[in-house]
Amino acid sequence: MNARLEGKVAIVTGAASGQGAATARALVRHGAHVMAGDIDEQGLAALSTESPNIAVMRCDVTRRADVEALVAATEEQFGGLHAMLNCAGYLGATGPLIETTEQMLNRIIDINFKGVFYGCQAAIPALQRSGGGAIVNWGSVNSLVAEPEIAAYSATKGAILMITKSVAVEYANYDIRANCLCPGGVTTPMVAGFFNDEFLADEQAQRDYQPLGLISPDEVAEVAVFLVSDESRKMTGSAVMVDAGYTAS
């Protein structure tokens, strides 16, 4: 067994699906114990059957008390916390900026911005108690570049990069690192509406969209493992692009 993360305890939010689920699996594969949080209890139940080293707990990241409870349960069950991976996210309805409803705007801000902020707030004291650790926040290529009709989503992803940098400069003295993982187009349920069957069958169309084509959740997960591992110990405050070249031009 690859024991790169032996002895480490990690939390993954948004772990019931897509990149969060792939990341929970990858962390366990590399030797970590994982607490998986999500609002999708069915997805969590399925994930929990995959390994005795994955515990699950319902957690709505828009509620600070839920996120604090997730951290407390992790420390109680596994004896500490070494990594917090804030992956839960919400694309919301796409459309013109001027048509974004107040309700939709609030939902996107609550999940993406406040969810990641609460995740950092709740994790930092626990990471301090463990003598340091790593935070990985899921941004997006839209942390850096805009696209039409996803203004609110992109604005929150830009903010997540700044939350990450703020943690990096404020908590380096505690050996807490924070990096912002910025994926391009990844084949998950979130973007199933964009990547229809025709697109998924057309490799050239995928390469026209992103030079190296679409990304799998597992390919993102391996980078998340690296950002948690000691191999990235001098990386903090970075926007880590896993975008198959999307932002290269």
Ligand X SMILES: NC(=O)c1ccc[n+]([C@@H]2O[C@H](COP(=O)([O-])OP(=O)(O)OC[C@H]3O[C@@H](n4cnc5c(N)ncnc54)[C@H](O)[C@@H]3O)[C@@H](O)[C@H]2O)c1
Q: Which residues of this chain interact with ligand X, rule CB under 6 A?
A: 13-14, 16-20, 38-40, 43, 59-62, 87-90, 111, 138, 140, 183, 185-186, 188-191
CB 181, min distance to ligand X, A: 8
Question: In terms of CB distance, is 88 or 134 closer to ligand X?
Answer: 88
CB 32, min distance to ligand X, A: 19
Question: In terms of CB distance, is 2 or 249 closer to ligand X?
Answer: 249
CB 83, min distance to ligand X, A: 16
153 is catalytic: yes
Residue 22: partners with Cβ closer than 8 Å, 6 or more residues away: 216, 217, 218, 220, 221
Question: Phi-psi category of 32—alpha, beta or left, where left has phi over 0 and alpha has psi -120 to 50?
Answer: beta
Report CA torsion sign: 147, 150, 151, 153: negative
Question: In terms of CB distance, is 176 or 180 closer to ligand X?
Answer: 180
Question: In terms of CB distance, is 11 or 130 closer to ligand X?
Answer: 11
Point out the catalytic residue in the list 90, 118, 153, 246: 153
Alpha carbons 24 and 227: distance in angstroms, whole number: 14
CB 70, min distance to ligand X, A: 10
Find out whether 5 and 27 touch, Cβ atoms under 8 Å.
Answer: yes
| Residues with catalytic function | 153
